[in-house]
Amino acid sequence: MTEKYPDWRGRVLRKRYRLDERIALGRTVEVFRGYDLLEEKEVAVKLPLPHLLSDREFCDQFRAAAYRATRLRHPGLVEVLDYGLEEDRPFVVEELMDVRSLHEVLETGKRMKPLGALYFALEISRTLAYLEKQGVAHGSLDERHIFIFPNRKAKVSDPGFPVVMGAVESPFPVFLNIQRDIRDLGYLIYRSVTNRSKQEAMDDVRRGKLKWDREIPPRLQRFVELCLQSTEGRGFATARDALWDVVSSLREELPMAPLPPEEPEEKEEAPAAQVTPLPHPLPRLSRWQVWAGGGLLAVAVVLLVLWVLSIFIGGTKVEVPNLVNVSVEEAARMAADRDLGLLVVGKEYDAAVKADYVISQDPKPGEMVRKKTVIKVLQSLGPLTVPNLVGLSLEDARAVLESRGFRVGEIIYKEVAGYSENRVVETDPPYGAKLSSGAAVNLVVNRKGK
Same domain, 131 and 219: yes
Whether residue 72 has pLDDT greater than 80: yes
Question: Is 70 exceeded by the pLDDT of residue 328?
Answer: yes
Residues 249 and 106 in one domain: yes
- Looking at the structure, tell me whether residues 64 and 153 fall in a common domain: no
Instruction: Report, as an integer, the average pLDDT of 52-67.
Output: 85
Say what the alpha-carbon torsion angle 388, 390, 395, 398 is, to the nearest 10 degrees: 30
pLDDT band of residue 81 (cuts 50, 70, 90) is: very high
Kindly state whether residue 341 falls inside one of the protein's structural domains. Answer: yes
Residue 276 belongs to some domain of the structure = no
Task: Write out pLDDT tens, residues 277-313.
Answer: 444 444 555 555 556 666 677 777 777 766 556 555 5
In a domain, 301, yes or no: no
Domain at 346, CATH number: 3.30.10.20
Residue 265 lies in a domain: no
319 C-beta neighbours (distance < 10 Å), count? 12
> What number of residues does the chain have?
450
Strand partners, 21: 33
H-helix or E-strand spanning residue 36: strand 29-36
The answer to whether 245 and 226 are in contact (CB under 8 A) is: yes
Lowest mean pLDDT among 85-94, 374-383, 384-393: 384-393
| pTM of the full structure | 0.59
Considering only CA atoms, which of 138, 38, 48 is closest in space to residue 85?
48
> Which residue spans within 371-439 are E strands per DSSP?
374-380, 384-385, 407-414, 424-428, 434-435
> What is the extent of the structural domain holding 365?
317-380
Q: In sequence order, what E strands does 125-273 have?
A: 146-149, 153-156
Q: What is the pLDDT of residue 192?
A: 93
What would the DSSP string read from start to end of 328-389? HHHHHHHHHHTT-EEEEEEEE--TTS-TTBEEEEESPTT-EEETTPEEEEEEE--PEEPPP-
Identify the domain boundary among 205, 237, 253: 253
CA distance 30 to 46: 6
Query: What's the total number of domains in the chain?
Result: 4
- Asked if residue 362 and residue 388 are part of one domain, the reply reads no
- Tell me: do 342 and 220 sit in the same domain: no
**What is the C-alpha separation between 345 and 362, in angstroms, rounded?**
10
Residue 10 is assigned to a structural domain of this protein: yes
* Domain presence at residue 227: yes
Phi, psi at residue 149, to the nearest 5°?
Answer: -110, 165
Question: Do 221 and 121 sit in the same domain of this protein?
Answer: yes
Q: Based on the domain organization, do 350 and 428 belong to the same domain?
A: no
376 with 390, same domain: the answer is no
Asked if the model's pLDDT at residue 176 lies above 90, the reply is no
Integer Cα distance of 194 and 112 in angstroms: 8
Q: How far is the C-alpha of 165 from the C-alpha of 172, rounded, in Å?
A: 8
What CATH number has the domain bearing residue 167? Answer: 1.10.510.10
CA torsion, ordered 34, 40, 41, 43, to nearest 10 deg: -30
- The residue from 95, 123, 144 where one domain ends is 95
Of 349, 380, 411, the last residue of a domain is 380
CATH code where residue 74 lies: 3.30.200.20
Residue 417 is given by DSSP the state: T
- Same structural domain for residues 145 and 219? yes
User: Is 260 within the bounds of a domain?
Assistant: no
Give φ, ψ of 221 to 5 degrees: -60, -45
Question: What is the structure's pLDDT at 222?
Answer: 92
Answer yes or no: do 107 and 242 share one domain.
yes
For residue 335, being part of any structural domain is answered with yes
120-156 b/e (C-beta count within 10 Å ≥ 16 → b): bbbbbbbbbbbbbbbbbbbbbbebebbbbeeeeebbb
pLDDT band with cut points at 50, 70 and 90 for residue 76? very high
Asked whether the beta carbons of 380 and 355 are under 8 A apart, the reply is yes
202 and 114 belong to one structural domain: yes
Backbone angles phi, psi at 324, to 5 degrees: -65, 135
Decide if 9 contacts 22 (C-beta within 8 A): yes
Minimum mean pLDDT range among 19-33, 184-198, 378-392: 378-392
Domain match, 184 and 50 both: no
Q: Return the percentage of the chain with pLDDT > 70, whole number.
A: 84
Q: What's the CA gap between 21 and 228, in Å, rounded?
A: 38
Q: Is 427 helix (H, G, I), strand (E, B) or coil?
A: strand
